[in-house]
């Protein structure tokens, strides 16, 4: 079975990646920059942020057109490798 068939997703498709970290002024820009390395044409409105109830954490969701499973794997790896990203979904 080919690698592309190991997923239920059909590419290209709309996909959202979420990353959580401490609520610093530049966290949303950091997440957008990391995802942007793998998705060159992020559209307007692709990045949405939401602070936790206490304001200590920030979740950043980036929605884009995914082109392959490998692209998604690379994005998740880059996010989890960064020390400011506490979790990614």
Sheet holding 57-66, edge to edge: 47-51, 57-66, 13-22, 87-88
pLDDT at 5: 59
For the chain, the structural domain boundaries read 10-84
User: What does pTM read for this prediction?
Assistant: 0.90
For strands 47-51 and 57-66, give the pairing. antiparallel
46 burial level (CB within 10 Å; 0-12, 13-18, 19+): middle
Q: Indicate the fold that domain 10-84 takes in CATH.
A: Alpha-Beta Plaits (3.30.70)
Two structure tokens written together for 45: 């409105």
Q: 1-10, 33-42, 53-62, 68-77: lowest mean pLDDT where?
A: 1-10
Nearest to 43 by CA among 62, 18, 27, 69: 62
pLDDT at 4: 45
Q: What is the pLDDT of residues 1-45, one digit of tens each?
A: 455 457 899 999 999 999 999 999 999 999 999 999 999 889 889
């Amino acid at each position: 079975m080919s690698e592309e068939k190991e997923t239920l997703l059909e590419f290209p498709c709309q996909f959202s990646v979420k990353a959580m970290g401490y609520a610093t002024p530049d966290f949303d820009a950091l997440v957008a920059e990391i995802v942007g390395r793998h998705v060159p044409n992020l559209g307007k409105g692709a990045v949405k942020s939401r602070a936790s109830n206490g304001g200590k954490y920030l979740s950043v969701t980036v929605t884009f057109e995914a082109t392959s499973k490998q692209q998604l794997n690379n994005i998740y790896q880059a996010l989890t490798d960064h020390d400011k990203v506490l979790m990614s979904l």
